[in-house]
C-alpha cells in the first residue's frame, strides 16, 4: 500500500478564484497527424521508395491535407541530406552524435548514418477514430523499409531516432507513454520550467502544457501529464470528459492511473515559438501523485503525495487554477499493473459495492455507467456506455448513452439487457461530482 505524505510546498500554488473562460474546444483533436522519416544507407533506391509506398497503400496518397481529416491520407517525399541547410533548397540534416546521444534509441552503425545521402519523409493524417489503424500501418511500413534500406527511422513528432531493430520491436498499440514525450524548457530566473507534450496528436489528442512549474517539481508534473494523457486517450465516448465552465476550467476529467489519482482541469492555451501544432491544452491537476522518487525508495515502494500542479492561462484568458476537488472515492488498492489486474479489480468492485449501491437505490446526482460490447457492422465489436438501471441475478439492464458508429443493431437512448460477464468496465459518478472506475483506460491503446 502506498504511504501518504505531503510533497514539497513548491507544488502547492496559490489558490485563485477566477471567472469562467470563453468557450473552449474539446481537449481532444478531431483528427490525428504525425510524421516519420527514413534515413537511407546511403541512398534511397527506387525499390526502397516503391516498397514503402506499396506498404503504405492502405493510407491513400494525397496532394495536401484538409483542415480536418475526414479520411486517412499521406504526403510522401524525398529530401537530399547533402544540401546545406542554409541553401535556398534547404536539405534535411543528418542527425549528429549529440542528437543520437540525446534522442537515439538503439541507434547502431552511427558512422554509416552520418554518410546517409537521402531521407524519405512522410506526413500522415486521419480521422481520430482511425488513428491507431493509420499509425499501425505506418509503423509496419517503416519497419519493412528500414530493413530493406538498412537504415534508421525518426519519429519527427518526438524527434526520437530509432535503429531498425528497436523500431521494429516497438508495438504501435503498446503503452501510450511509449509514443509521446514531455519536454521541459530551460529554467527561468524564478526557477520555473514550461512543460509540453509531443506525440499525442498522432492519436487524436491535443498536446498538453504546464507552465510555471518549479524545477524541483518537474518530475511530478511529468507524471501528471502522463496520467492526464492516458486518461484522455479514448475518453471522447467514455463519459469521463466533462464540461466545467467555472473557476477557469473549461473541461475536467477524473484521473486514476499508476502515476496519479485526482481531477484534471483543462483549458485552451496559446502556442509559443517552437511548440507543436496548436491548439494546446493547459492542465491543472489536484489529487495524489505516485512517485518512487519522493522518498528515494525503490520503484516497488511507491509513495503518494497530496499535490496541486497548475498551469496559468494565457493573457486575457482565465487560468485553470486553485480548483478545489472533493477527495475521490477510489478503491484503496495499489494501482493495477496490467489490463488483467485492472479487470480483476473492476469485477470485484462491480459485484460488491457497485451492485449494492444500485440495489439500495442511487442518491440524487449519482449515476453508474458500464461499458458493454455490441456486434459491429465490420464483424467486430463496438463498446458502448450504458446507464445502468437494473440488476437481476446475472442480467443487467440500462439505456445506451453513447452514439454507436459501427453497432447497427442498437441506437443511443435504446433500453438494452446484457449479462454481467459482458461488462468491460464501469464509471460510478457520486453525488459530490467525484468518480471512480474506468480502471482499464490506461491499458487501452
CATH 2.30.30: which residues of the chain?
339-443
**Cis preceding linkage at 279, omega within 30:** yes
The pLDDT, as a whole number, for residue 401 is 85
Q: Could you tell me which of 289, 288, 303, 310 has the C-alpha nearest to residue 195?
A: 310
Spatial contact of 432 and 326, defined as CB atoms under 8 Å apart: yes
Q: Could you tell me which of 76, 78, 79 has the C-alpha nearest to residue 91?
A: 79
Please, which residues have CB within 8 angstroms of residue 322's CB and are 6 or more apart in sequence? 13, 14, 15, 16, 17, 18, 247, 308, 310
**What is the rounded CA–CA span in Å between residue 360 and residue 350?**
14
What is the pTM (predicted TM-score) of this model?
A: 0.64
For 31-173, CATH number out of 1.10.3470, 1.20.120, 3.30.1910, 3.30.70 equals: 3.30.70
266-282 as b/e: b if 16+ CB within 10 A: bbbbeeeeebbeeebbb
Task: Say which CATH topology domain 339-443 has.
Answer: SH3 type barrels. (2.30.30)
Please, which residues have CB within 8 angstroms of residue 277's CB and are 6 or more apart in sequence? 33, 201, 207, 271
**What is the rounded CA–CA span in Å between residue 60 and residue 130?**
13
Cell of 291: 512517485
CATH 3.30.70: which residues of the chain?
31-173
Q: Could you tell me which of 366, 364, 373, 370 has the C-alpha nearest to residue 349?
A: 370
Spatial contact of 386 and 399, defined as CB atoms under 8 Å apart: yes
Kindly give the confidence (pLDDT) of every residue in the chain, 445 residues in length, as a single tens digit, with 9 standing for 90 and above: 222 222 222 233 222 222 233 345 678 888 999 999 999 999 999 999 999 999 999 999 999 999 999 999 999 998 888 764 444 445 678 999 999 999 999 999 999 999 999 999 999 999 998 999 999 999 999 999 999 999 999 999 999 999 999 999 999 988 888 999 999 998 888 889 999 999 999 999 999 999 888 888 888 889 899 999 988 885 654 556 677 655 567 888 888 887 888 888 888 888 998 899 888 999 988 888 875 433 222 233 233 344 445 443 333 333 333 222 233 333 334 566 677 877 888 888 898 888 988 888 888 878 898 989 998 887 788 888 899 999 999 999 999 888 788 888 888 889 999 999 999 888 888 776 677 888 777 666 4
The pLDDT, as a whole number, for residue 235 is 65
Spatial contact of 444 and 233, defined as CB atoms under 8 Å apart: yes
Amino acid at each position: 500500500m502506498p504511504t501518504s505524505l505531503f510533497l514539497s510546498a513548491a507544488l502547492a500554488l496559490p489558490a485563485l478564484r477566477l471567472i469562467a473562460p470563453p468557450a473552449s474546444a474539446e481537449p481532444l483533436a478531431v483528427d490525428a497527424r504525425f510524421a516519420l522519416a527514413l534515413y537511407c544507407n546511403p541512398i534511397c533506391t527506387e525499390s526502397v521508395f516503391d516498397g514503402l509506398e506499396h506498404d503504405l497503400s492502405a493510407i491513400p496518397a494525397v496532394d495536401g491535407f484538409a483542415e480536418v481529416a475526414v479520411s486517412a491520407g499521406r504526403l510522401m517525399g524525398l529530401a537530399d541530406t547533402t544540401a546545406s541547410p542554409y541553401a535556398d533548397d534547404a536539405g534535411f540534416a543528418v542527425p549528429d552524435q549529440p542528437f543520437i546521444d540525446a534522442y537515439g534509441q538503439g541507434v547502431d552503425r552511427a558512422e554509416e548514418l552520418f554518410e546517409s545521402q537521402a531521407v524519405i519523409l512522410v506526413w500522415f493524417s486521419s480521422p481520430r477514430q482511425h488513428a491507431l489503424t493509420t499509425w499501425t500501418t505506418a509503423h509496419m511500413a517503416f519497419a519493412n523499409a528500414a530493413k530493406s534500406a538498412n537504415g534508421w527511422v525518426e519519429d519527427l513528432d518526438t524527434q526520437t531516432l530509432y535503429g531498425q531493430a528497436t523500431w521494429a520491436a516497438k508495438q504501435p498499440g503498446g503503452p501510450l507513454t511509449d509514443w509521446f514525450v514531455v519536454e521541459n524548457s530551460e529554467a527561468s530566473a524564478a526557477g520555473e520550467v514550461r512543460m509540453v507534450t509531443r506525440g499525442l496528436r498522432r492519436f487524436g489528442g491535443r498536446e498538453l502544457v504546464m507552465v510555471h512549474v518549479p524545477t524541483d517539481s518537474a518530475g511530478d508534473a511529468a507524471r501528471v501529464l502522463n496520467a492526464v494523457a492516458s486518461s484522455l486517450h479514448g475518453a471522447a465516448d467514455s463519459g469521463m470528459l466533462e464540461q466545467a465552465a467555472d473557476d477557469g476550467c473549461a473541461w475536467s476529467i477524473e484521473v486514476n492511473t499508476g502515476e496519479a489519482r485526482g481531477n484534471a482541469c483543462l483549458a485552451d492555451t496559446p502556442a509559443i515559438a517552437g511548440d507543436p501544432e496548436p491548439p494546446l491544452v493547459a492542465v491543472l491537476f489536484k489529487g495524489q501523485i505516485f512517485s518512487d522518487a519522493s522518498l528515494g525508495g525503490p520503484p516497488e515502494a511507491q509513495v503518494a503525495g497530496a499535490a496541486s500542479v497548475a498551469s496559468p492561462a494565457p493573457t486575457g484568458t482565465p487560468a485553470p487554477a486553485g480548483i478545489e476537488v472533493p477527495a475521490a472515492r477510489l478503491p484503496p488498492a495499489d494501482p493495477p499493473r496490467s489490463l488483467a489486474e485492472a479487470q480483476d479489480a473492476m469485477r470485484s468492485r462491480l459485484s460488491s459495492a457497485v451492485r449494492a449501491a444500485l440495489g439500495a437505490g442511487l442518491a440524487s446526482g449519482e449515476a453508474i455507467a458500464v461499458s458493454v460490447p455490441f456486434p459491429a457492422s465490420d464483424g467486430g465489436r463496438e463498446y458502448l456506455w450504458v446507464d445502468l438501471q437494473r440488476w437481476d441475478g446475472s442480467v443487467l439492464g440500462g439505456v445506451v448513452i453513447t452514439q454507436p458508429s459501427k453497432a447497427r443493431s442498437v441506437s443511443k437512448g435504446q433500453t438494452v439487457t446484457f449479462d454481467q460477464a459482458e461488462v468491460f468496465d464501469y464509471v460510478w459518478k457520486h453525488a459530490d461530482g467525484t468518480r471512480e472506475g474506468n480502471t482499464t483506460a490506461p491499458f487501452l491503446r
